[in-house]
Amino acid sequence: MRRLIQFSVAAGVGVLMLALWRLGESPEGGPVRAEPPAMKHKSYKQTIPDTKTTFEMIAIPGGTYKMGSPAGEKDRKDDEGPQHPVAIRPFWMGKCEVTWDEFDLFWRAHPGQKEDKEPENPKNADAVTRPTPPYADETFKKGREGKPVLCITQHTAMQYCRWLSVKTGKIYRLPTEAEWEYACRAGTTTAYSFGDDPKKLGEYAWFADNADEKTHTVGTKKPNPWGLHDMYGNVCEWCLDHYDAKYYSRFPLDKPTLSPVLLPTEKRFPHVTRGGSWGDEAKDCRSAARLSSELDWMKQDPQRPRSIWWLTDADFVGFRVVRPVEEQDNLKGLRSKITRQSPVD
Amino acid sequence: MSSSDTNRDSASRRDFLKATTVAAGAALVSNLVPAVHAAGSDQIKVGVIGCGGRGSGAADNVLHAAKNVSIVALGDVFKFQVDGLRNRLTNLGKSDAIKQKGNSVDVEGRCFVGLDAYKQVIDSGANYIILATTPGFRPIHLQAAVAAGKNIFTEKPVGVDGPGIRKVLEAAEEAQKKGLHIVAGTQRRHQRLYVETMKRIHDGAIGDIVAGRDYWMQGLLWQRISELPKHPEITTEVGKQIFNWYNHTWLCGDHIVEQHVHNIDVLNWAIGAHPESAVGMGFRTRTDPRFGHIYDFFAIDYKFPKDVHTLSMCRQISNCASEIGEYMVGTKGTCHTADRHTYLIDGKPLFTRKELKEQPDPYVQEHTDLIESIRSGKPINELKRVAESTLTAIMGRMSAYTGKQVSWEQALNSKEDTMPKDLTWDMQLSEAPVAIPGKTPLI
């Protein structure tokens, strides 16, 4: 409890409310389904300035949950445990995965120009470095309009968020792994947010059984209980965190850890991706399933240094954005540290 | 050696056998002892000519391709490129993965800069030359490396015009006589599942091929004029054009030659011949002079023997339909191949996701195959084949630029030598005009 009080003092009223809500939680069993506190923030539609392109952001209440899967869950892997309580501050999450329609506005703003160093604090979104043109069909013939961006590095996803932040004046970033699973579960404790039966996955997700080896227009399957689409399948989604198979063993099991994140560094790999993709079986789309990025995802890059923007062998990874209501201290001013000199292993 | 290395090495041996089976006939001269099989040692001593992104990639690849490989010399027209690669390789040489293979980097005193750097690299004591400069220089580099009796990894394309390809075909013949080992950077020929798919086609899986189509349609590629301020040392017109090489036909060949040659090569491979003639069209929608004078789209109808036609489309315009891949239509079925992820016959995947994922990196494999050919004394010589695929692309470009039908002989015997005469770093060089179909003459 001491730790929690420190948080409350440090982070102010919002987290205090969160702490009060936690009182409804049973320390032994799973979380009691207490009503989330009335949210001050509301879902909204964001127009990307100077364009007609919009995307929707869903308000996600703060709260606590058990991150990871219980030891008895079918198809569970060791890296999903131990299950540990986590507290999450309120935030917004993209209703859908980021599409090429949005992403093209970012990376094609200066056609054909190679990247350059950007100023420390760019005030103009055009100053944010952006992907160099790839020697490839970056859509991997999986479609562009309405389809999720794919085969990009975590650095690219982070730079998109930076560009979007400068452009809109709001903080957009990748979700932490803890935020991602929290939003994916949407208050549920089953293998999927619709229960434990993988036979129902086809109603919610484009995955190996129904995707026909490609991505599909975002938001065309049923949403999860909080209104988020394609949390399972379509593309697996970049999180902010580095991947560590034993990461969960670092946390106390008897009290929630607030907003854990394994901060990204100058290393290009490994990072966490979540939710499974068009190519994954149902078991790899479970709420707790984790997939780590690796050098193999860009093994066919013929250039050195390897591109920091485009992957070559991961036509299944994309991302969605989140926006914190109040940014956690260790993410304030966070920027990707990746450069062309960054090590790959 | 780790177990994965063992697997890879044995897998590569199998692939090499497959690849040579497919290529059998034209390339193998098994009764000749290779002249340059390093006496008393099978150390591969690599000289890299062209230290840009691809040359740097190839240098990295060769160090991962086999044991007992050393990079001994570097050359480029730009000092910053040589310095960049030397630094990267010095770091790479310290890595455990490289040391464990007994591989090393020692280029001190053998880093050369300038238009003649290629000669110095060839004379540096290297016995394995990587040619990865801009394509316009490839024919003279190939001639020099073959004349010096070196084994060669040459990037594609191997030329940008008829006169250049004639030099390459002469070099191919000379290399054959000398028993030299040459692999070209059309890496699909060394990509496990492409090789396996082609084997099935050649075994009759889709019957006789009666038509084909292939694509490299992507967004706008780069220009480097806006980067010139970072390189105040580049003051001459020749230097600037080489720096911005993609956008100049004499250096790049245009993107149909530089990039689309990959897909064109796959269709030549599948059909087992080069086309007899081409009728093509294309032009450019871009007007920005930083993008030189190359086109940004081409569509070529190639006529192969037995009146088999293929349609070859390439484009570099953003916000348009994009695709890279090849389609073969046979009397009994169809085949679709694309890059590293699509191998279908009659719409059905030939391989599992696991097999796709486990494909070895073809950019490493092509060096593994070349080194294995050197060490086994069984010459592999892909030069004629890649010269033909390159000329196929050039023939298409010539047709699009002029608007005329162009035959294989017209392309091969073309007098259009795009290389500036008596090229020097400081010479006056004007920007070539944009070709106008119906007006630009066929030379």
pLDDT digits 0-9 by tens, A203-260: 999 999 999 999 999 999 999 999 999 999 999 999 999 999 999 999 999 999 999 9
A41-78 pLDDT per residue, tens: 999 999 999 999 999 999 999 999 999 999 999 999 99
Q: How many CA atoms lie within 13 A of B92 on its CB side?
A: 27
Interface contact A305, partner B, CB < 8 A? yes
Residues in Cβ contact with B408 at an 8 Å cutoff, skipping those fewer than 6 apart: B274, B275, B276, B277, B391, B395
Q: How far is B269 from chain A (nearest CA, A)?
A: 21
User: Any idea where the domains of chain B sit in the sequence?
Assistant: 27-188, 192-360+383-412
The yes-or-no verdict on residue A36 having pLDDT over 80 is no
Mean pLDDT of chain B: 92
- Shortest CA distance from B356: residue in chain A: A313
**According to the model, what pLDDT value does residue A123 have?**
82
**According to the model, what pLDDT value does residue A29 have?**
37
Q: Please indicate whether, in this complex, the C-beta atoms of B53 and A111 are within 8 angstroms of each other.
A: no
pTM for this model (two decimals): 0.89
Phi-psi category of residue A244: left, alpha or beta, with phi > 0 → left and psi -120 to 50 → alpha: beta
Q: Please indicate whether, in this complex, the C-beta atoms of B56 and A303 are within 8 angstroms of each other.
A: yes
Distance in angstroms (rounded) separating the CA atoms of residues B276 and A223 = 56
Give CATH for domain B27-188.
Answer: 3.40.50.720
Average pLDDT of span A25-38: 44
Interface contact A20, partner B, CB < 8 A? no
**According to the model, what pLDDT value does residue A111 have?**
65
The two beta strands, A84-88 and A257-258, are parallel
- Shortest CA distance from A296: residue in chain B: B357
Give CATH for domain B192-360+383-412.
Answer: 3.30.360.10
**According to the model, what pLDDT value does residue B25 have?**
38
Q: Please indicate whether, in this complex, the C-beta atoms of A137 and B187 are within 8 angstroms of each other.
A: no
Q: Which CATH number fits domain A44-102+125-331: 3.90.1580.10, 3.30.2040.10, 3.30.450.20, 1.10.3430.10?
A: 3.90.1580.10
Interface contact A121, partner B, CB < 8 A? no
Report the candidate in B132, B240, B258, B394 with the shortest Cα–Cα distance to residue A135: B258
Q: Which of B88, B221, B323 sits opposite A112 (nearest CB)?
A: B221
Q: How many CA atoms lie within 13 A of B58 on its CB side?
A: 29
Contacting residues of B for A112, CB less than 8 Å apart: 220-223, 290-291
Report the candidate in B246, B261, B328, B338 with the shortest Cα–Cα distance to residue B294: B246
Interface contact B219, partner A, CB < 8 A? yes
Two structure tokens written together for A92:
């917004």
Q: How many CA atoms lie within 13 A of B188 on its CB side?
A: 29
User: Any idea where the domains of chain A sit in the sequence?
Assistant: 1-30, 44-102+125-331
Average pLDDT of span B283-296: 95
**According to the model, what pLDDT value does residue B215 have?**
98
Higher model confidence: residue B367 or residue B34?
Answer: B367
**According to the model, what pLDDT value does residue B39 have?**
41
Q: How far is B15 from chain A (nearest CA, A)?
A: 18
pLDDT bin (cut points 50, 70, 90) of residue A345 is low
Q: Do domains B27-188 and B192-360+383-412 have the same CATH topology?
A: no
The yes-or-no verdict on residue B246 having pLDDT over 80 is yes
The yes-or-no verdict on residue B4 having pLDDT over 50 is no
Contacting residues of B for A116, CB less than 8 Å apart: 227
Helix B162-178 crosses helix B383-402 at what angle (to 10 degrees)? Answer: 170
- Shortest CA distance from A344: residue in chain B: B92
DSSP letter, residue B416: -
Distance in angstroms (rounded) separating the CA atoms of residues A80 and A249 = 10
DSSP letter, residue A62: -
Q: Please indicate whether, in this complex, the C-beta atoms of A137 and B54 are within 8 angstroms of each other.
A: no
Q: Please indicate whether, in this complex, the C-beta atoms of A138 and B322 are within 8 angstroms of each other.
A: yes
Average pLDDT of span B38-46: 74
Higher model confidence: residue B20 or residue B375?
Answer: B375
Phi-psi category of residue B142: left, alpha or beta, with phi > 0 → left and psi -120 to 50 → alpha: alpha
Q: How far is A302 from chain B (nearest CA, A)?
A: 5
Contacting residues of B for A104, CB less than 8 Å apart: 318-319
Distance in angstroms (rounded) separating the CA atoms of residues A276 and A284 = 6
The yes-or-no verdict on residue B16 having pLDDT over 60 is no
Interface contact A343, partner B, CB < 8 A? no
Distance in angstroms (rounded) separating the CA atoms of residues B368 and B187 = 12
